[in-house]
Structure 1
Amino acid sequence: MTPVKATHTPPRQMRIPDDEWLPFGEATKSQEASRAEVVRDFIRWYLRRPGAKLPPRPEAGPWSTPKDADEKPAAQN
């Protein structure tokens, strides 16, 4: 494995389906942010870190609708 640069954190692995990950990338670009920035902001907010704010959501766009329009969204827990 390649050593991690002193200025970087070690990579973490998450399994996110392409039908969510790829549109998420489009949505973050529309906000002039990266996926990593948005995920880090969300984690800080979720942990209630001082000064943390929930990252802003973009307006609805092509990423808002599943590719298969008949597809039903997953159940919320």
Structure 2
Amino acid sequence: MPNAPKTPARQIRIGDEWYDFDAAVKSLDTERAAVMRLLIAWYLREPGAKLPPRPDRQVVLDARRDRRAAGPDA
């Protein structure tokens, strides 16, 4: 089976912060799933787990501004 993921997909409900999160992780050249895994490991107090780096706050503010400027259907 081509492109078979190693782990099953999980669904969670997140508001518009999801788009801000996407912009933030892309600014650090990573992916949302990678950051989520790091956060979960840290939250579960896994040995050696550390919080991932955070982007500049301006990245989030710019993403929100751009999304609002694009309108509700963008």
The TM-score, its normalising length taken from structure 2, stands at 0.73
Stretches of 4+ aligned residues off by more than 6 angstroms: none
Equivalent pairs counted in the alignment come to: 63
Give the unaligned 5+ runs of structure 2. 69-74
Q: In structure 2, what is the Cα distance between the partners aligned to 1:45 and 1:13?
A: 20
Q: Which structure: greater helix fraction?
A: 2
The TM-score, its normalising length taken from structure 1, stands at 0.70
- Percent identity reads 49
Give the unaligned 5+ runs of structure 1. 69-77
User: Equivalent residues in 2 for 1:1-77 (5 A)?
Assistant: 5=4, 8-17=6-15, 19-64=16-61, 67=65
CA drift of 1:64 comes to 3.5
SS of aligned partner of 1:61? helix
Question: What RMSD over aligned residues (CA atoms) do the two structures have, in Å?
Answer: 2.1
CA drift of 1:25 comes to 0.3
